[in-house]
């Protein structure tokens, strides 16, 4: 038998050129191997026959054995439908068809016995199944899956109209598996791994993933395939990390000196939280180890990451190195610059700001001072990545809100000096540890899991837009207390004209509700020039503006402790992480703060769920877990560029966390013993990794 990957699916019995073309365009399947790796997304237990009385509203799929009592035709042409009353002897339900009626007419007979299968709907106590699968008793008995577990395959509309239903795909898998006869699908994992982890063979896994002999075998097959998929990802990541740490030494910061100590003892504005202290110790250990630090700092909005960043940079300065901090937006970079230069003013440290809108002359001055070593800390935006920004002694790089940057951008910082600086990336979008292991597999993770003392939890409420008048009254009462307000409009795509119309209309209306004679309003959005945006933000920061109408440009990092209300219009149009980020703009001072989520009354159940989660918890980790479960990791900001394919075939980075961990440990153990994978027993792994690399899956880019 030739390789499965060499066998064209076109010539498989029951396929042919038309279906083959669909398989190729719709799901990318051209040969036997690819088809075998197209797995069911769920399974149905067809060994169970339901009684109609057992069906409740939460029942997903049912199989019922019974007789058709009566068939009726209604309507004409496109509106035609066929209904059958189906009874299991005790009670009855309806079977309904809207499509393909011509073909069905006369096919089923009143009084005959059938097995029907499908998703029941309950309405007013009546049970019906639309477009059920239906077979005569004899057909059903002759099927090999009768009494078995049946896989369900994803199909597209195009596939369905080309007769490639889930059932048809199941049949194709069956044909491939039968064609193997005595042939055993070659193993892709070495014997020692199979033994150590207790895996079933690849052959048995592929058979049982499509045609499980039992639920135990199905579990064993899923485990084998998931572990293998995740293992090769981890093997690639760990190998790259090892090669890199061998190739690059890290700068050794041998001492904690004048700058750090003076700041810590004399100028720090408040006591560090325990979590901040712990993270600083972890960073200190890294930079004092001689290895290059690559650390991810996760901490919820408002947890005080900036101070940790600042003190890490002081470690570099104490060892005669320069430090740099990059933020994703101009507003944020400017705010960091102001915070940091103010805090460091008594220490007489050279701090500068470089962004895309820094004027040419100013830029030249900064760059010259940088090369002369007079600029010790350079803060900025993407502008820092430009080739003409040259640090003679860059020892520490901080990347804030790292999920906003792509991998390529992070990698670019590496090339800024011969020896790579220590890198601390910070994010307020916490992701579960096991997902971080894959996304940022080569980063060590630190977590700030504690907010500074004295913060009152933000009260979050969901209100329908019919209640807007009351909300405005509430806002007025907050302003009367001297507080400031954010009102945010969705701007999913900065180019969407309709969004701007909404924003403009909203702003005009607000000017009526909050007349200029009594209130000061400002507006910021992405279409404004950076300088204009900056000026508007500044007015809000200084307290001159009471209400800031904005788009998500204010989402990241901005710090105005006096702002106490975040009102979000059309809140259902935002993702959970985004809502959490926006909410993080308030609650930064000692006052009670509020987040008001405004939506229409008509809401999808998913949107309702999102509003509920937001109202229930302020815990960023919990929110991100829910978000990941609802949306899947592929939608996570920044992950598209991460290089991790989220169209994993079987594993799920969110729900298979334990297997991720197991796969990672396995990869570490193997590479500890055999870093180049040259041992006889690991040759198969080397081969597989190369093969995956050929398929353009490059784990090495994750850094």
- Please identify which residue in 63, 273, 478, 564 interacts with ligand ADP, judged by CB under 6 A: 273
How does DSSP assign 400-421, residue by residue?
Answer: SSGGGS-HHHHHHHHTTSSSPP
Q: Which of residues 432-471 bind ligand ADP (CB under 6 A)?
A: 452
299 in contact with Mg ion (CB under 5 A) = no
Instruction: Write down the residue that tokens 């007419």 correspond to.
Output: 105
430 binds Mg ion per the rule CB under 5 A: no
> What are the start-end ranges of the H helices in 514-656?
530-542, 576-583, 605-616, 620-631
With the CA atoms of 638, 642, 646 and 651 taken in that order, what torsion angle do they form, in degrees rounded to the nearest 10? -120
Q: Minimal distance in Å, beta carbon 455 to ligand ADP?
A: 8
Nearer to ligand ADP, 29 or 333 (CB): 333
- Binding string to ligand ADP for residues 573 to 612, with x set by CB under 6 A, is what? ---------------x------------------------
Nearer residue to ligand ADP within complex by CB, 155 or 559: 559
Burial of 296 (0-12, 13-18, 19+ CB in 10 A): buried
Least Å from the CB of residue 338 to Mg ion = 13
Query: Residues 303, 376, 381, 546: which binds ligand ADP (CB under 6 A)?
Result: 303
Kindly state whether residue 270 participates in binding ligand ADP, applying the rule CB under 6 A: yes
| 376 in Cβ contact with 349 (< 8 Å) | yes
Pairwise CA distance, residues 167 & 31, whole Å: 19
DSSP labels, 140-199:
HHHSTTTTSEEEE----HHHHHTT--HHHHHHHHHHHHHHTTTPPPPPSS-HHHHHHHTP
Identify whether the C-beta of residue 686 lies closer than 8 Å to the C-beta of residue 462: no
587 binds Mg ion (CB under 5 A): no
Q: Does 395 bind Mg ion (CB under 5 A)?
A: no
Task: Choose between 300 and 572: whose C-beta lies nearer to ligand ADP.
Answer: 300
φ, ψ of residue 319 to 5 degrees: the values are: -110, 25
**Sheet containing 484-488, strands listed edge to edge, beginning at the edge strand earlier in sequence:** 459-464, 594-599, 563-568, 484-488, 547-550, 521-524
* Interface segment toward Mg ion; rule CB under 5 A; list 249-257, 381-389, 556-564, 577-585: 556-564
Q: Tell which one of 66, 212, 250, 299 touches ligand ADP (CB under 6 A).
A: 299
> How many angstroms separate the CA atoms of 154 and 140, rounded?
23
Instruction: Name the residue with tokens 């979590």.
Output: 275
Minimum CB–partner distance for residue 398 and Mg ion (Å): 11
Specify whether the backbone of 475 is left (phi greater than 0), alpha (psi in -120 to 50) or beta. alpha
Does 428 participate in binding ligand ADP (rule CB under 6 A)? yes
> According to CB under 6 A, which one of 104, 130, 152, 272 is a site residue for ligand ADP?
272
Of 132, 304, 522, 643, the residue at the interface with ligand ADP (CB under 6 A) is 304
Told to check if 403 binds ligand ADP by CB under 6 A, we report no
Nearest to 164 by CA among 15, 372, 287: 15
Residues touching Mg ion: how many (CB under 5 A)?
1
Pick from 557, 587, 620, 643 the residue near Mg ion by CB under 5 A: 557
Cβ closer to ligand ADP: 75 or 482?
482
Two tokens, residue 208: 């049982």
- Considering the complex, what minimum distance in angstroms separates the CB of residue 306 from Mg ion? 5
Measured from the CB of residue 306, what is the shortest distance to ligand ADP in angstroms?
3
Using CB distances below 5 to 8 A depending on partner kind, what does residue 270 bind out of ligand ADP, Mg ion, none? ligand ADP
Binding partner of 276, given ligand ADP, Mg ion, none, CB within 5-8 angstroms per partner class: ligand ADP
* Positions in the binding site for ligand ADP (CB under 6 A): 270-273, 276, 299, 301-307, 428, 452, 557, 559, 561, 588
Binding site for Mg ion (CB under 5 A): 557
């Amino acid at each position: 038998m030739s390789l499965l990957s060499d066998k064209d699916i076109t010539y498989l019995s029951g396929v042919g050129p038309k279906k083959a073309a669909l398989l190729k365009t719709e799901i990318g399947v051209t040969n036997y191997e690819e088809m075998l790796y197209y797995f069911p997304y769920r399974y149905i237990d067809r060994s169970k026959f339901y009684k109609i009385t057992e069906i409740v509203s939460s029942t997903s799929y049912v199989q019922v054995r019974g007789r058709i009592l009566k068939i009726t035709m209604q309507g004409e042409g496109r509106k035609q439908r066929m209904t059958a009353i189906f009874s299991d002897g005790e009670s009855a339900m309806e079977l309904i068809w809207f499509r393909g009626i011509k073909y069905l007419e006369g096919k089923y007979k009143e009084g005959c016995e059938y097995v029907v299968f499908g998703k029941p709907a309950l309405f007013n106590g009546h049970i019906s199944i639309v477009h059920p699968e239906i077979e005569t008793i004899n057909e059903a008995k002759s099927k090999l899956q009768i009494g078995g577990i049946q896989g369900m395959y994803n199909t597209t509309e195009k596939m369905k109209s080309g007769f490639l239903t889930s059932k048809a795909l199941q049949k194709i898998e069956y044909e491939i598996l039968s064609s193997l006869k005595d042939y055993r699908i070659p193993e892709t994992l070495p014997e020692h791994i199979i033994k150590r982890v207790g895996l079933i063979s690849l052959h048995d896994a592929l058979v049982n993933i499509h045609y499980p002999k039992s639920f135990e075998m199905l579990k064993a097959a899923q485990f084998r395939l998931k572990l293998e998929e995740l293992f090769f990802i981890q093997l690639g990541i760990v190998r790259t990390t090892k090669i890199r740490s061998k190739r690059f030494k890290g700068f050794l910061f041998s001492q904690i000196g004048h700058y750090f100590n003076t700041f810590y003892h004399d100028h720090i504005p408040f006591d560090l939280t325990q979590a901040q202290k712990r993270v600083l110790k972890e960073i200190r250990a890294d930079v004092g180890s001689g290895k290059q630090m690559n650390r991810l700092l996760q901490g919820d909005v408002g947890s005080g990451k900036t101070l940790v960043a600042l003190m890490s940079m002081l470690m570099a300065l104490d060892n005669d190195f320069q430090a740099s901090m990059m933020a994703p937006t101009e507003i944020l970079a400017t705010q960091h610059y102001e915070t940091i230069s103010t805090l460091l003013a008594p220490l007489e440290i050279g701090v500068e700001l470089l962004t895309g809108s820094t004027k040419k002359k100013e830029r030249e001055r900064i760059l010259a001072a940088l090369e002369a070593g007079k600029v010790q800390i350079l803060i900025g935006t993407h502008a820092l990545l430009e080739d003409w920004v040259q640090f003679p002694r860059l020892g520490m790089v901080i990347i804030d809100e790292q999920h906003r940057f792509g991998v390529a951008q992070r990698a670019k910082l590496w090339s800024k000096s011969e020896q790579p600086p220590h890198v601390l990336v910070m994010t307020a979008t916490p992701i579960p540890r096991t997902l971080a292991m894959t996304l940022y597999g080569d980063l060590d993770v630190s977590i700030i899991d504690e907010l500074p003392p004295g913060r009152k939890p933000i009260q979050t409420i969901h209100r329908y837009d019919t209640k807007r008048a009351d909300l405005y009254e509430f806002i007025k009462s907050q302003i009367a207390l001297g507080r400031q307000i954010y009102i945010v409009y969705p701007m999913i795509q900065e180019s969407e004209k309709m969004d701007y119309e909404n924003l403009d209309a909203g702003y005009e209306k607000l000017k009526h509700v909050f007349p200029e004679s009594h209130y000061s309003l400002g507006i910021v959005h992405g279409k404004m020039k950076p300088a204009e945006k900056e000026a508007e933000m500044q007015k809000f920061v200084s307290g001159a503006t009471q209400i800031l109408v904005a788009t998500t440009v204010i989402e990241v990092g901005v710090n105005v402790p006096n702002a106490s209300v975040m009102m979000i219009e059309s809140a259902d149009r935002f993702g959970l992480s985004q809502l959490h980020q926006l909410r993080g703009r308030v609650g930064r001072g000692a006052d009670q703060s509020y987040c008001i989520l405004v939506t229409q009354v008509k809401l999808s159940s998913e949107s309702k769920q999102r509003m509920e989660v937001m109202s229930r918890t302020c815990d960023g980790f919990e929110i991100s877990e829910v978000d990941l479960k609802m949306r899947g990791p592929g939608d996570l900001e920044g992950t598209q560029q991460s290089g991790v394919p989220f169209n994993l075939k079987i594993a799920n980075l969110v729900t298979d966390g334990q297997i991720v961990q197991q796969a990672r440990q396995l990869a570490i153990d193997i590479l500890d013993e055999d870093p180049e994978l040259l041992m006889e027993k690991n040759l198969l792994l080397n081969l597989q990794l190369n093969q995956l690399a050929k398929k353009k899956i490059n784990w090495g880019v994750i850094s």
